[in-house]
Amino acid sequence: MSALSADGSLARPATSTRKLSWDVIRAGTMLMVMLYHSTYLGPVWHPELATLPLSFDYPVGASTLLIVSGYFAAVSLQRRDPLRWWMGRLFRMLPAFWVAVLVTGYVMRTWSPPGWWTPTWEDIGANMAMLWQWKPQKFVYVDASYWTLPIQLSAFTMLLVVARYSRIRPPAAVLLWTVLVLEAALWPIRVHTEWEPFRMFHDGLGWHRMHLVVVGIAVFLVARGRIGRTHGAALVIVGMVLHGIQTDDTATAIGVALLTAAVWAAAVGPDWDRLIPAFLHPAIRWMAGISYGVYLMQQSIGYIVMGRLNGAGASPWIQVSAMLATGVLLGWLLTAAVERPAYDALTRLRDRYLPPKKDTRPPGGGPKAPKSPQPSRPPKLPRLPRLLGPAKPPRPARPPRGPDMPRPRGRDQEGRTRQGPPGGVAS
């Protein structure tokens, strides 16, 4: 779910080589999240808010973003060292999340309409530590959108352990089936047990939605030809069945399945750039690039904006429009001022103390290529003629020595000075 582009400007994302299809999915599902929160969930949680004649009642956006997150986690993991990859995921997610919790908690404490619940500083600290699923009876969400983050962190950590530290590395498809079977086995226990340690383990690690990450990785394996389409479709279908069982909402399960089909089409099919007018491409890429920041900032603060406008007599359409605009504005500020600068600074620090290793694997993964033999040292080239100054005159050739010429002075093999016999007669 985290943004993949580099800054908050409109111009720079236009040079991205990523398919526009992915940006359409991320921007579209983010809009679905905000419409669900503003037109349906807001009046349910705050009945004093005016309701619209039309509402979007389907919680499908965040689930689809988890599928997209699983897909791109697999894309980036195959190109990087697992530990460096895992650190990069944390650098992308956590600093922006911590700042979002602090800002949202402060706004709720200072600007909430009278009578609305406001968090204590203990609640804010517990949300920064993601304790809401571990102790829901004690720690309340500052923003309910945060429920997806522990699932991502658990999935990323499991991928790190398998890819870097596990001595047994099963094929990727075997690992995905294992996760789905384990989740299916744990769900009845979670429903029928009242044992608190198990509930903390199950909900705290996000096992109830791990199938969404599995579906995203399965689509990646199909797109890269690692498994067949029939095999990948079986993984996706089982994941959707688990989603329908756990949500107990047929309409929502169908909606997530349709959006999963769109993810599949984006992964294995052609780009959608020709289907969308070119003048919309920069705005779509920009919205997709700030989607993580928007996701963190839009719900609780958006409800406060709607509540204040409702107290001032604004119409429901104005309230919803103001919530959408506030979420986009605050999401852009969080992305430009916190997420990207923090990610850049932390990755530079990581690279200083954990430099990347030279990868000898071919593109796309696989076994390491054999080391190529070192080339032999090239023969020495003859010296170039002197280009500056006069050349040294050639040494005159030594004249041949006749039998009556004296033998030149020199040293024998033992180092003694030698000289020819007297009279110049050769011995």
CA distances from 305 to 42, 162, 356 (A): 11, 45, 46
Lowest mean pLDDT among 11-15, 185-189, 254-258, 394-398: 11-15
Rounded CA separation 163/156 (Å):
10
* pLDDT attached to residue 394: 55
Tell me the average pLDDT across 272-301.
96
* pLDDT attached to residue 320: 95
R_g of the chain, CA atoms, integer Å: 35
* pLDDT attached to residue 6: 35
Please report which helix (H) or strand (E) contains residue 408, including its range: none
With 70 as the cut, is the pLDDT of residue 267 above it? yes
* pLDDT attached to residue 424: 41
Contact call for residues 108 and 304 (beta carbons, < 8 A):
yes
- Provide the pLDDT confidence category of residue 370 given band limits of 50, 70 and 90: low
**Residue carrying the six token digits 């992964």:** 267
What are the contacts of 199-203 at 24+ separation with CB within 8 A?
200/133, 200/134, 200/135, 203/133, 203/134, 203/136
With 90 as the cut, is the pLDDT of residue 178 above it? yes
Rounded CA separation 257/64 (Å):
9
Instruction: Annotate 347-367 with b (16+ C-beta within 10 A) or e (fewer).
Output: eeebeeeeeeeeeeeeeeeee
Report the percent of the chain where pLDDT is more than 70: 79
* pLDDT attached to residue 356: 84
Structure tokens at 12: 């720079």
Rounded CA separation 224/20 (Å):
18
Rounded CA separation 263/364 (Å):
21
CA atoms within 13 A on the CB side of 329: 9
* pLDDT attached to residue 393: 55
Residue predicted with more confidence, 195 or 91: 91
DSSP string, 127-164: HHTT-TTTSTTT---SSGGGGHHHHHHHHHHHHHIIII
